[in-house]
Every structure is written in structure tokens, then in C-alpha cells.
Amino acid sequence: MPFRQLRNRTGLLSGYFAAERNFSIGLAETVRKGVLKPTCSTIGARYIARIEDAGEYEKVHFRNICPPLYWPKAIGRFDLYKAATDCLHPDDWHHYEVPETTVKRGDVVLDCGAAEGIFALSVAERAGKVVLFEPSPDFRSSLARTFGNMRSATVVPAALGSKEGKAFLDGGSLYGVVRAEGGIPIDVTTIDAWSACAGTRVDYLKGDLESYEFEVLQGAVNLIQRDKPKIAFTVYHPGNDWKQMMSFLKRLVPAYRFRVKGLSYNDNFPRPVMLHAWT
């Protein structure tokens, strides 16, 4: 295991014992699911049946998922295995579907920060419709290859935020960050703006937005109040405040119930990994 990964794993113990930790998690879970968790290269590979060469892509066939996913070769296998672990391994803290926030048959799902599209692909057969929001050019053409012939899927090549406009994407692969300046120019829309044009209910919001989670929720006020969707958002990025997000959602929909899951120690501050909300 690389030194950086080992340091991150052992750092979870510092997060567990930190005075700032304001959520419940057991020491045994911290050790089993965090410190001693097998590597993503080990876990992710279990969910892949085979990988075929497809020019500039790798054509990835997952077990029990159809059709295949097109993965850009330029990004590399480690990130593929990490994404597969996050999206497909139920025991992983990053996993979006817990019993309370499971995609049901016919659900309309918004995949906010879709990246390579593994989550969307894993639920597409159950969902009535999946809409993928992803601004990164690294994944634009591969998402088109993966979902282009899927009538129930739509790819929106834009970032999400609290208001519409322009911004810049700094970095690539799974770790691109939206900034006010510096990087690749991108379009920014809001969930409410998309919803006003789409005219459809939404049953599920999935989000991994590299510290922009709260801004995206702020741009979805009307939809959340109207549809009361199930929500599975990451809250482990620096700057995220899971209590702020939970209070915001509770004001919009008093009937929401919540669950936080996992432990992270990014920037030497303890945060949960996921926030789940449902009615």
C-alpha cells in the first residue's frame, strides 16, 4: 500500500479520537471499515468480469450490470477500481444505497457529479430515468459512449451549483474542482433550473461534488420541497458541514429523516463520509 494511503488509513484513528468529532461511530467499525479495509484495487476488481480494449477506452464489463462502461485509458486503472468500490461495494462507507436510500423501480434519479457513470449504470435498469450531470471533458466522450444508446439516460455536460452561470474546472479525473477562475471553462446550472425545463418529478438525488454539495442543495430548493426525494450526498470534502446541510434540508422538508455514515479525516478534521435523507 502506498505511503499516502497508509497515512490516510491510520489518520482515521486521529479522527475517531478527535474532540471535534460530532457524530457517532464505533471504534470497531473505524478499524474494520477504515484502517484495515482492503485496497480499492482489491475490492473494485471483484466487481469486474472482464475488460476489453476499445481504442482510447477500456470497455469494462461489470458483474450483473449491463451494458458495459467505457473508461478513458488516460485516467488509469486505480481510479477505475476506486470508483467501482465507491459505487458497487455495499460495505463501503461511500456507498450511496443504504436501505433508506435505495433506488426503487421507476425512480427518476439525478446523478450530480456523475464522473465516469458507474453509479448511474448500476441503477439504470431499475430506474425509470437517470440524468447525469458531469462537466469534466475527461468523461464527456466516454459517458456518451456508455449511455448514448440508453433511452432512459440523459447526460448533461454541466456543473451544478446554487445559481446558473459560468465557472472553471480545475483538475480532472475523479477530482476536478469547480472554481471562479483558473482552469477549463464550464457551464453551471442548478437542479431547479433543470427541473423547470424537464417538467418531471425526481425521486432520488445522488451527489459527490468535491465540496460543492451544499451549494447544489441550495440550487434545488423548489424541487426538494415539491418532490421530497431520497438524498445520498457525500459530506467528507473539506468545507462540508453535515449539520448545516441537515438543518437546511429539515427546514425545507420537516418530514425528512437522516443518517450519517462513515468517518473521514480530510484536512485534519473529522467528518462523516455520507449524509442520507428520506421521508
Domain containing residue 127: CATH number: 3.40.50.150
Is the pTM for the entire model greater than 0.85? Answer: yes
Tally of domains within the chain = 1
DSSP state of 103: P
First to last CA, the chain: 41
225-259 burial by CB neighbour count: b if 16+ within 10 A, else e? eebbbbbbbbbbbeebebeebbeebeebbeebebe
Q: What value does the mean pLDDT of the chain take?
A: 94
Per residue in 16-65, pLDDT (tens digit) is 999 999 999 999 999 999 999 999 999 999 999 999 999 999 999 999 99
Specify burial of residue 157 (Cβ count, 10 A radius: 0-12, 13-18, 19+).
middle
pLDDT for res 167:
86
Which residues fall within 8 angstroms of residue 65, CB to CB, at 6 or more apart?
Answer: 121, 122, 125
Distance of CA 258 to the CA centre of its chain: 17
Beta-strand (E) ranges in 26-183?
A: 48-54, 57-62, 69-72, 108-112, 129-133, 153-156, 159-160, 165-170, 177-179
What is the domain extent for residue 138? Answer: 3-278
Per residue in 134-168, pLDDT (tens digit) is 999 889 899 999 999 999 999 999 999 999 999 88
pLDDT for res 172:
62
Residue 39, helix vs strand vs coil: coil
How many angstroms separate the most distant Cα atoms in the chain? 51
